[in-house]
Amino acid sequence: MSEAISPHAVFRHRAFTTYWLSRITGNIATFLQGVAIGWVVYSTARLTLDEAESMFLVGMLGLVQFLPMFALALVAGAVADRYDRRSIFLSCILLQLFCSLAFTWLAAEATPSLPLIFIVSAFFGISRTFAMPAAMAMSPTLVPAEVLPGAIAWNTLGVQGGMILGPWLGGLLTADSPVVANASAALLYLFSLLAALWLYYLPVNTRPPASNNGSRLTMIREGLFYIWGSKAVFGAISLDLFAVLLGGVTALLPAFAKDVLDIGPEGFGQLRSVFALGAGSMTLLLAFYPLRRRLGYWMLGGVALFGLATLVFALSRSVLLSMMALMVAGAADSISVFVRQNLVQILTPNAMRGRVSAVSGLFISASNELGEFESGVAARFLGVVGSAIFGGLGAIAVTLLWAKLFPALREADRLQPPAPH
């Protein structure tokens, strides 16, 4: 790792500070709301359906939010590369606020309407689809290049902070009242919106280059050709996709807690939290000491370590060793995420950042959704432990294969922004 930099360096820039506050409060709200509305759907469905059917409907919540991203991600990327990214970001947060208020209203009903909840969830998914590439493409324009690696680390920490705090607050507030929980999410979205409004009036240029004036179809085609031609970027995005697709064990944790380690539901919560703890700790370390040399090797090493830690977790029968393995897996995953985001945001020209960020986000969402499906299918044929072993070995094999197929990724060293055209 490189020499230490001031942890406050990125926050000397008002635009980035405002942007970061908007994003972290929005992330906390998203995960808080996910817990609250999931509980509303499950408890409402249980009035007429059995447990399996009710859980199926809860799972459908994730699907109706993923489908808009699958259908519109490339369009959202082209939009982010044509229009002012600040305006897109602000509009999406406003739509998220309206969706959160609608969820609050629905939760207050004696018998919430499940069809309406799914419709609102679809609109919420659309808002996130368009917000993601605009936010990621805008971030590098808010700080000087020399502190951008630190800004990327703080952005990642903001996402992970939301993943840790949001579900915890969601569970705590939903236990009191789902209405209170959804209203709290709406309040956080309001704060996020106010920060985005303040960002809108700060003197920063968040418009993409004026040269992006082709049709959306042309812009989408240009973006896909760029990703395919930039082997370092394509290698990093696809490596992350297959590593999480094969190596992720999130869907297997309930079975490990109950049947392998025999630690019950409380232990299941601890297994979920230690992965996030490892990831958050490594991201905080990277915010102080950003990686600046041999980034390709760092990413490949991080994914290989992720696979090895998954393998140790699969074979362990010690609770302490299992938790340590998950913590190491989380830290290793953070290294690969850090490098991928650097590659996408630094090596990609400003004119292409929206489209490349959209594809990157689509790959990551797909890996999370399909990874749980893959784990379930593998567990059906290989057993729970066999599925985790398969995942760990798969992640290591993918690392070795990608090191051979993508020498540009392996040899990526210092990252410098491309010269403006």
For 212-262, the pLDDT digits (tens) are 566 667 777 777 777 777 777 788 888 877 777 777 777 677 677 777 888
Torsion angles phi and psi, residue 214, rounded to 5: -80, 180
Residues 159 and 102 in one domain: yes
Q: Please report the pLDDT score of residue 182 as a whole number.
A: 94
Look at residues 208, 233, 251 and tell me which one is the last residue of a structural domain.
208
Tokens of 109: 């009903």
For the ranges 162-171, 239-248, 264-273, the lowest mean pLDDT is seen at 264-273
Smallest CA-to-CA distance from 182 within 265, 269, 121 is with 121
- What residue numbers bound the domain in which 225 lies? 216-421
Residues 224 and 368 grouped into a single domain: yes
Answer with the one of 189, 208, 227 that is the final residue of a domain: 208
Residue 7 has pLDDT above 70, yes or no: no
My answer on whether 296 and 356 are in the same domain is yes
The DSSP code sequence of 297-322 is HHHHHHHHHHHHHHHHHHH---HHHH
Indicate if 203 and 223 belong to the same structural domain. Answer: no
Same domain, 197 and 256: no
Calculate ∠ Cα 308-373-156, nearest 5°. 60
Whether residues 154 and 227 share a domain: the answer is no
For residue 380, give both structure tokens. Answer: 């059906």
Do 20 and 136 meet the contact criterion of CB atoms below 8 Å apart?
no
Residue-level pLDDT at 421: 45
Identify the CA nearest to 195 among candidates 14, 10, 19. 19
Q: Give Cα separations from 89 to 32, 163, 183, 273 (angstroms).
A: 20, 20, 22, 30
- Cβ-count burial 28-65 (b if 16+ within 10 Å, e if not): bbbbbbbbbbbbbbbebbeeeeeeeebbebeeebbebb
Same domain, 66 and 139: yes
* CA distance linking residue 89 with residue 23, whole number of Å: 10
- Read off the CATH number of the domain in which 360 is found: 1.20.1250.20
80 pLDDT more than 90: no
Q: Name the domain boundary from 208, 231, 257.
A: 208
Tell which phi-psi region holds residue 264, choosing left (phi > 0), alpha (psi between -120 and 50) or beta: left
Query: Are residues 256 and 198 located together in one domain of the fold?
Result: no
**Total structural domains within the chain:** 2
Within this chain, do residues 204 and 268 fall inside the same structural domain, yes or no?
A: no
Residues near 36 by Cβ (< 8 Å), separated by ≥ 6?
103, 107, 170, 173, 174, 178, 181, 182, 185
pLDDT band at 2 (very low <50, low <70, confident <90, very high): very low
SS3 of 48, please?
A: coil
| Residue 97 sits in the same domain as residue 145 | yes
Q: Is 237 exposed, middle or buried (0-12, 13-18, 19+ CB in 10 A)?
A: buried
**pLDDT tier for residue 210 given thresholds of 50, 70 and 90:** low
Q: How far is residue 414 from each of residues 103, 120, 229, 297, 341, measured CA to CA in Å?
A: 46, 44, 20, 12, 14
Please tell me whether residues 196 and 259 are part of one structural domain.
no
pLDDT digits (tens, 9 = 90+) for 28-60: 999 889 888 888 888 888 888 776 677 677 767
The confidence score (pLDDT) of residue 312 equals 94
Of 288, 316, 201, which Cα lies nearest the Cα of 7? 288
Q: Please list, in sequence order, all residues whose beta carbon lies within 8 angstroms of the beta carbon of residue 87, skipping any fewer than 6 positions away.
A: 200
Which candidate, 272, 253, 239, 279, places its Cα nearest to that of 376? 253
d(CA 251, CA 394): 17
In this structure, are 47 and 63 located in the same domain? yes
Model confidence pLDDT, tens digit, residues 329-366: 989 988 888 888 777 777 777 777 778 877 777 777 66
**pLDDT attached to residue 351:** 75
